[in-house]
Chains A and B, each alone.
Chain A
Amino acid sequence: MRAALTRLTLTDFRSYARGELALTGGAVFLFGPNGAGKTNLLEAVSFLAPGRGLRGAAATEVGRREPGEGEGEGRPWAVAAVLSDADGETRVGTGAEPDTARRRVRIEGEPVPPGRLSDLVRLVWLTPQQDRLFLEGGSERRRFLDRLVFADQPRHAAAVSAYEKAIRERTRLLTDGPNDPEWLNALEAQAAEAGAVLATARHKTLTALQAEIDARSERPFPQAGLSLSEDWHSEGSGERLREALARGRARDAAAGRALSGPHRTDLLVNLREKDRPAAEGSTGEQKALVLNLVLAQAARLARDPEAPAPILLLDEVAAHLDPARRAALFDEITALGLQTFLTGTDRSLFEGLFGRGQGVRVEGGALEPENG
């Protein structure tokens, strides 16, 4: 069996006082009215990976609050799951107390650092916010890119945070002093080393992802042509970055931030067929483009025998797709055999999954699995 959650228990998470779900693996479609808690359930699953989940929320935000209770008054919350794979079952749990920002994680009842979750669970998600991916500024796309890289190469997160920290330190030194060239040299050396590592990781994931997308040309989804706006990854880029930072001191001091480096790199995406920037595509085309990218990523990760099979979280993915693409999506997730959570307001959106997936009605704070 591919890695899948077979039991999920939410305690005081968002709108759920308590929610329990037994799952079989494969496709799970959640349907119910607006505000019923479908996205909340996906978010709960997303906390089974390190980080801030699919809404980017802090651990202190997601505890359940009664109407009228303010921020910071949330209850202690927990998300527990049983993860089943070929090796058997593993109990995983996470949660937080309202007064500690740090999320706690337990594996088999033992407290572990959150980073350990990436040994067990890999997640790939798509949310309606990402429909605007190509219309927004570069930072959203960079986050999206880094998440793709992170799922592929978990160590990427450490390089990103080391790089960002070194750059923040350098900016503070440039703006507030002291003007200490040796200190700046030291910080720039750290930033350059981590920056080259992170840029190389991005390049590696993107190259592999492009190959995967190219191999999927027969599917009824638009194909993305992927590239990076800047090259901080090829031979000697660490040294180049170090020099660029050293040269840019006066300019960066005036700007109050670093104006060059991989934290400014944009992910460039083209609609292959039309050879146009993705931003020019229709709403549905853009959605299908990102979806195809995410599916390519999932398919690729699923082939890695060393790492756990990915779990897909596709929030409101069915709504914008035409029937042919919706059918193709359902066929594909069935073929991949990966556990995939989908949401939509209407049960009928998932007709193509009837008999092939598990339906769950979400309503009034409760989760009701359909029979059969």
Chain B
Amino acid sequence: MAAASPEIERLISLLSKLPGLGPRSARRAALALLKRREQLLTPLALALADAAEKVRSCSVCGSPDTQDPCSVCSDRSRDATLVCVVEEAGGLWAMERGASYRGRYHVLGGLLSALDGVGPDSLRIGELVSRVGAGEVREVILALPATVDGQTTAHYLAERLAASGVSVTSLARGVPVGGELDWLDDGTIAQALRARRPA
């Protein structure tokens, strides 16, 4: 079998870096793109270029958006005294789908994990502490996964925020252990939000 051209190899190797795609599925994805040039490959390339050019992290909450501050942070109807901390933007989108939350967000950009070399400085924890220190926030809701990393991060944040005097709560479990926020249905999220408890 002749080797694929370097352009195709590069496409495959980049695709295989996406979460959920191993080398095998990356090859299949690349093939699907190349076969459907007009419908898929070109529009995707344009969408990627567009996103790369326009999308930025919100300087307040860290979520990706084309405007800064993002649409949530600049929406004056949303309660600025309430901040919900999520691991990644996926958690934010999941909460927004639930449509029962009217506060703001803070995207950490990951979870503490010594084994993976992710410490407090690699996450947007300092930003959270100063945001809370600025005074407007009254409650921080920790919506982090019920995994060891998630709960360690929650515990750590509760301790770091203790001095500020804000109330720190977490989503009630009802959320299955090991559960990722983006996989929950809207009803579960709404319920977990109502039953939040002191962290």
Contacts and interface: CB of A to CB of B under 8 A. Distances in A.
A162 B119 CA distance: 19
A142 B195 CA distance: 38
Interface stretch (B13-21, B57-65, B148-156): B148-156
Interface string A82-96: 000000000000000
A304 B155 CA distance: 38
B178 A169 contact: no
B177 interface: yes
A352 B24 CA distance: 52
A166 B115 contact: no
Instruction: Choose among B115, B120, B147, B177 the residue with the greatest number of A CB atoms under 10 Å from its CB.
Output: B115
Indicate the size class of the contact surface on chain B: 20 to 34
B1 interface: no
Contacts of A165: 148-149
Given A172-B115, A183-B112, A190 B156 contact: no
Contacts of A162: 147-148, 177
A166 B152 contact: yes
A296 interface: no
A180 B151 contact: no
A186 B155 CA distance: 5
Instruction: Choose among B112, B147, B155 the residue with the greatest number of A CB atoms under 10 Å from its CB.
Output: B155
Interface residues of A, number: 22
Contacts of A178: 119
B96 interface: no
Contacts of B115: 168-169, 172
22 contacts: A99-B22, A162-B147, A165-B148, A165-B149, A166-B148, A169-B152, A172-B115, A176-B114, A178-B119, A182-B160, A183-B119, A183-B120, A183-B152, A183-B156, A185-B156, A185-B159, A186-B156, A186-B159, A187-B152, A189-B152, A190-B151, A194-B148
Interface of B: 22-24, 112-115, 119-120, 147-149, 151-156, 159-160, 177-178
Interface of A: 99-100, 158, 162, 165-166, 168-170, 172-173, 176, 178, 180, 182-183, 185-187, 189-190, 194
